[in-house]
Amino acid sequence: MAEDGYDGYAYAYPHKTAYRPLDPPIPLNEAWQFEDKRDLFLYVHLPFCEMRCGFCNLFTTVQPGASLVEQTLGAIYRQSESVVAAVEPQGIAQAAFGGGTPSYLSETELQCLFTTLSGMWPVCWRDIPVSFEVSPGTVTREKLALLKGLGVDRISLGVQSFVPADLVSLKRPQPAAELERACQTIKTAGFAVFNIDLIYGNEGQDASRWQSSLDRALEWQPEELYLYPLYVGKLTNLDRSGKRPAERRRDLYRLGRDFLLAAGYRQISMRLFRRADVIRTTDYCCQEDGMIGLGPGARSYTRSLHYSSEYAVGQPGVRSIIENFNKRELASYACADYGVPLDDAEQKLRYIIKSLLRADGASYQSYWRRFGSSMIDDVPQLNELFELGLATDSEDCLRLNEEGLAWSDTIGPWLYSDTMTARMSEYEFV
């Protein structure tokens, strides 16, 4: 365990570093044949950014140039055609465009992307929740109007900090005026949900600097806020320059949580806070089983198989994966060749990790309905949460208490199986 208990963000279990080549590749029609295809989650990954931020280990490439973008979009359309034919989807219940920075695309490219996908998939963007990630430097009034017209209802803006000194420390080049203009433009465009991402725990950030960022964020009255503790991953620019997160991330977490609760936000998970008057029923959880990812770097999940294209952090590795993705034969997109199978025990762990780390907890009944067994009998280790005073038990639910939620990044990795922990630690970063 890390000294301060920040062992890892369990937003996906198993992490991509547990994926390996699947030999032989698994045809998607087989992988999806017994899945419920009525309420799928469509995720589109655009691996392009204007800049590589010092903290970021997401799968993305910087300043790709027009021809690489064009080739990648072409490949996404071919992949899409091939996946639709193999999976035979019956309905899309929600969609998200992430990255990278999807707003790196031009208006013409965005229009074409939405139109092409809705021509292939059983989806009407306006009828479902559609989330779209943007960075301040790529936001324009025209782009937002287009996205809104196409049916996007949630804009998520990467801010990280409103304090210039934090942005220097995070190695995120982002002029204050640009940030201000982006917030104003999003607010004026009027999406149902405006989400702001903030990071805490960078070198030099004390409580007053964190407070000042939170204050500035609330001036925009965002419907949602994600408060991310800083992680310094392998091969990131912060890692290469020997930087580490501040020691007192949990104090900053408590400050942020208390402040948002007092300001009328509800806590959904350790990271996510939602304004109390906002109702949204689309939180990522176990609905993610049934996720179709398009684009290089996108993950797809059936109950028993998680797969994607390969993963890299360093720029040469990312570029070569994108180029290989773009060159694939049409038929090869209809096979999963890199991923991880989930047996019954892994599916149970995934279910528990994903639901326990939410404020509303893991429902005993839902677990029983899904697996036909008792959650506590299957994973007796969960009893330790009561002994440690981190969870409360009710008739229907195992729920982390305030202190338990604060230790989410210890509890998640503590529940990982030995097999997945070994696979993740054996992974060689490129």
Which residue, 53 or 398, is less far from ligand SF4 as judged by CB?
Answer: 53
| CB-based closest residue to ligand SAM | 158
Of residues 239 and 289, the one with the C-beta less far from ligand SAM: 239
Is residue 56 within the footprint of ligand SF4 (CB under 6 A)?
yes
141: Cβ contacts below 8 Å, ≥ 6 apart: 185, 188, 189
What is the spatial distance between Cα 172 and Cα 199, in angstroms, rounded to a whole number? 11
Helix axes 141-150, 107-120, angle to 10 degrees: 10
Q: Which is nearer to ligand SAM, 79 or 156 (CB)?
A: 156
Closer Cβ to ligand SF4, 57 or 80, answer by number? 57
* Cβ proximity to ligand SF4, 137 vs 290, nearer residue: 137
The correct pick among 14, 64, 89, 99 for binding ligand SF4 (CB under 6 A) is 99
N- to C-terminal Cα distance for the chain?
Answer: 24
Check binding of 260 to ligand SF4 (CB under 6 A): no
Find all residues with CB under 8 Å of 11, minimum gap 6, and list them: 284
Is the omega angle on the peptide bond into residue 100 within 30 degrees of 0, that is, cis? Answer: yes
Residue 136 touches ligand SF4, criterion: CB under 6 A: no
Q: What φ, ψ does residue 278 adopt, rounded to 5°? A: -100, 130
Stretches 66-74, 84-92, 93-101, 322-330: which one binds ligand SF4 (CB under 6 A)? Answer: 93-101
> For residue 47, what are the contacts with CB-CB under 8 A and spacing of at least 6?
59, 60, 61, 72, 99, 100, 295, 296, 297, 318, 322
Q: Does 135 bind ligand SF4 (CB under 6 A)?
A: yes
Q: Rule CB under 6 A: say whether 53 interacts with ligand SF4.
A: yes
Q: Which residues bind ligand SAM (CB under 6 A)?
A: 49, 55-56, 58, 98-99, 101, 133, 135, 158, 160, 197, 199, 228, 230-231, 233
Residue in 16, 52, 209, 423 binding ligand SF4, rule: CB under 6 A? 52
Residue 49 contacts ligand SF4 per CB under 6 A: yes
Spatial distance between the Cα atoms of 47 and 77, rounded to a whole number of angstroms: 15
CA distance 50 to 64: 8
Residue whose structure tokens are 């419907």: 223
Residue 131: partners with Cβ closer than 8 Å, 6 or more residues away: 94, 95, 96, 97, 98, 152, 153, 154, 155, 156, 193
Q: Which residues pair with 228 in a beta bridge?
A: 199
Could you say which of ligand SAM, ligand SF4, none residue 233 binds, taking C-beta under 5 to 8 angstroms by partner kind?
ligand SAM
User: Which one of the spans 54-62, 71-79, 250-258, 385-393 is the region binding ligand SF4 (CB under 6 A)?
Assistant: 54-62
Q: What SS3 class is residue 190?
A: coil
- Between residues 135 and 417, which has the closer beta carbon with respect to ligand SAM? 135
Q: How far is the CB of 55 from ligand SF4 (least distance, A)?
A: 7
Of 31 and 152, CB closest to ligand SF4 = 152
> What's the burial of 389, exposed, middle or buried (CB within 10 Å: 0-12/13-18/19+)?
exposed
Q: How far is the CB of 356 from ligand SF4 (least distance, A)?
A: 27
Residue 45 found at the interface with ligand SF4 (CB under 6 A): no
Q: Which residues bind ligand SF4 (CB under 6 A)?
A: 49, 51-53, 56, 58, 60, 99-101, 135, 158
